[in-house]
């Protein structure tokens, strides 16, 4: 089946273990999680969704990704796991590309993925089976107590957080200059070490995604791009 795609573009991965590496992004349309600070609100929010949503055959997306020098393809959203991604991941693999998935973990995964970044959200908790498959975790720190909240949630779902898998602490972009939020991240990393690492969205100060004309203009929830949400 064709996949509804909000945008697809060639950039570099701005977050996590593979930060700085060339990547082709496929951002699917649709998300039931509805984070109030979503910076990809064009994938779901009625105030920001485009008038027309394009649908692509998996083979066409794989061909486009393979035409670049990307080290891997990133399937993201929205929430990509609401779609059956089996045909897309197979098509990308046939083109010789590794396939990375970015998900909230709240929906069963359909497809073959080489790397899974799981970013839990308090509005729709992840499934234990998704937590067990994740290669890294990305916690969005929108308030000072968020780190403890999400660490407790992941441990309750069977993630030992023992250093085997990185746990990135990202300030929610509108809070990136909030000294309390940044201080909470610094303190947690210093106090707990192990898997916990301070994170950042490197692609944003570089404006790396926007260098590709296929990348949709940012439509952050709230409509105030200067504040990051």
Instruction: Tell me the per-residue pLDDT of 56-87, one tens digit each, with 9 for 90 and over.
Output: 999 999 999 999 999 999 999 999 999 999 99
Answer whether the bond into residue 78 is a cis peptide, omega within 30°: yes
How does pLDDT run across 81-122, given as a tens digit for each residue? Answer: 999 999 999 999 999 999 999 999 999 999 999 999 999 999
User: Within the chain, what is the greatest distance between any pair of CA atoms?
Assistant: 48
Mean pLDDT of 189-218: 93
Q: Dihedral angle at the C-alpha atoms of 6, 115, 204, 219, nearest 10 degrees? A: 20
Share of the chain above pLDDT 90, in %: 84
4's enclosing H/E stretch is strand 3-12
Asked if residues 87 and 58 have their Cβ atoms less than 8 Å apart, the reply is yes
Q: Where are the domains of the chain?
A: 3-223
Other beta carbons within 10 angstroms of residue 220's beta carbon come to 21
Whats the size of the chain, residue-wise? Answer: 229
Domain spanning 3-223: CATH 3.30.420.280:
no
Beta bridge partners of 149: none
- Cβ contacts of residue 164 below 8 Å, gap of 6+? 195
pLDDT band at 221 (very low <50, low <70, confident <90, very high): low
Q: Which of 190, 193, 187 is nearest to 141 (CA)?
A: 187
Please identify which residue in the block is written with the tokens 């898997």.
195
pTM to 2 decimal places: 0.94
Other beta carbons within 10 angstroms of residue 224's beta carbon come to 10
Residues 78-100 as b/e (b if ≥16 CB within 10 A, e otherwise) read bbbbbbebebbbebbbeeebbbb
- Cβ contacts of residue 223 below 8 Å, gap of 6+? 47, 48
Which pLDDT score, from 0 to 100, does residue 48 have?
84
């Amino acid at each position: 089946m064709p996949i509804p795609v909000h945008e697809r573009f060639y950039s570099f991965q701005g977050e996590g273990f593979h930060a700085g590496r060339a990547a082709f992004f496929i951002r699917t349309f649709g998300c039931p999680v509805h984070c109030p600070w979503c910076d990809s609100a064009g994938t779901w929010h009625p105030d920001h969704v485009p008038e027309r949503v394009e649908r692509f055959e998996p083979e066409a997306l794989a061909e486009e990704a393979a035409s670049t020098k990307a080290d891997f393809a990133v399937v993201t959203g929205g929430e990509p796991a609401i779609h059956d991604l089996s045909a897309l991941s197979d098509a990308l693999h046939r083109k010789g590309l590794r396939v990375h998935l970015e998900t909230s973990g709240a929906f069963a995964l359909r497809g073959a993925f080489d790397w899974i970044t799981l970013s839990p959200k308090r509005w729709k908790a992840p499934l234990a089976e998704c937590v067990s498959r994740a290669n890294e975790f990305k916690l969005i720190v929108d308030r000072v107590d968020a780190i403890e909240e999400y660490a407790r949630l992941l441990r309750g779902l069977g993630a030992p957080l023992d250093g085997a898998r990185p746990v990135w602490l990202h300030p929610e972009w509108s809070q990136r200059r909030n000294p309390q939020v940044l201080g909470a991240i610094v303190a947690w990393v210093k106090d707990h070490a192990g898997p916990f690492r301070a994170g950042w969205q490197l692609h944003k100060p570089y404006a790396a995604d926007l260098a590709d004309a296929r990348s949709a203009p940012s439509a952050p929830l709230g409509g105030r791009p200067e504040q990051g949400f």
